[in-house]
Amino acid sequence: MSESGRLLLIDDDATFLQVMSRSFRRRGFEVLACAGARDALASCRDFAPSHILLDLNMPELSGMAALPQLLEAAPGAQLVVLTGYSSIATAVEAIKLGATQYLCKPAGIEEILRAFSGEQTSEEPPAQPPSLDRLEWEHLQRVLQENEGNISATARALGMHRRTLQRKLQKRPVRR
């Protein structure tokens, strides 16, 4: 892969934006860093990115909601989702919406570059089956996705109090 292009970097973590911007600039990319999906959508057409690195969990407008709009504004761009709140349901949905690849944080610059080129990013599946906590997280994410992100409808579908579901969703996903 040619390590140059125009990268639109979207994440609500200011430190992450700074570190990644510097890393991509060192590799010859022109970088536009946006602290939210709304800012990115406003800048996307004019910037004309060849690559987009998108976080999913952001205030105001989620990365998942912005994904199709970003690809519409930059139709030739390769979009990689990088999130700290990964789940199988969101990975499947992101790929269906047009993402090139879906990565879990933390991911290094080399792994992200491989993802942009379409290369397989992980060597082999984990040897250990997922924990019960991880399976619960995956199930919550799948039902939430089925209910289009509606917390109340998801809580009803799970037979769970809405506040309990909100607390569970605010926690970082359990490692496998």
The answer to whether 70 and 8 are in contact (CB under 8 A) is yes
Residue 125, CB half-sphere, CA atoms under 13 Å: how many?
A: 3
Which pLDDT tens digit goes with each residue over 78-129? 999 998 878 888 889 999 999 999 998 888 889 999 999 877 655 445 566 6
In this prediction, residues 159-170 reach a mean pLDDT of 88
pLDDT at 100: 92
Whether residues 152 and 65 fall in one domain:
no
User: How far lies 9's CA from each of 18, 32, 66, 102, 160, in Å?
Assistant: 10, 6, 13, 15, 36
Whether residues 64 and 11 fall in one domain:
yes
Whether residues 59 and 93 fall in one domain:
yes
Distance CA 151, CA 163 (A): 9
Strand partners, 5: 29
Whether residues 80 and 37 fall in one domain:
yes
Whether residues 61 and 139 fall in one domain:
no
Tokens of 69: 């709009």
Beta carbons within 10 angstroms of residue 112's beta carbon: 20
- 92 domain residue, yes or no: yes
Provide the 3-class DSSP secondary structure of residue 176.
coil
**What domain range includes position 150?**
132-170
Q: Which of 28, 31, 26 is nearest to 6 (CA)?
A: 31
Whether residues 155 and 78 fall in one domain:
no
State pTM to two decimals.
0.72
Whether residues 21 and 83 fall in one domain:
yes
Whether residues 83 and 146 fall in one domain:
no
Whether residues 86 and 151 fall in one domain:
no
User: How far lies 51's CA from each of 5, 48, 86, 118, in Å?
Assistant: 7, 9, 21, 12
Distance CA 59, CA 50 (A): 25
- 23 domain residue, yes or no: yes
Whether residues 90 and 16 fall in one domain:
yes
CATH code where residue 27 lies:
3.40.50.2300
The answer to whether 147 and 154 are in contact (CB under 8 A) is yes
Which pLDDT tens digit goes with each residue over 152-163? 999 999 899 999
How many structural domains is the chain composed of?
Answer: 2
Determine which helix (DSSP H) or strand (DSSP E) holds 146, and give its type and residue range: helix 132-146
Higher pLDDT, 143 or 126: 143
pLDDT at 1: 40
The answer to whether 101 and 81 are in contact (CB under 8 A) is yes
Whether residues 80 and 162 fall in one domain:
no
CATH code where residue 151 lies:
1.10.10.60
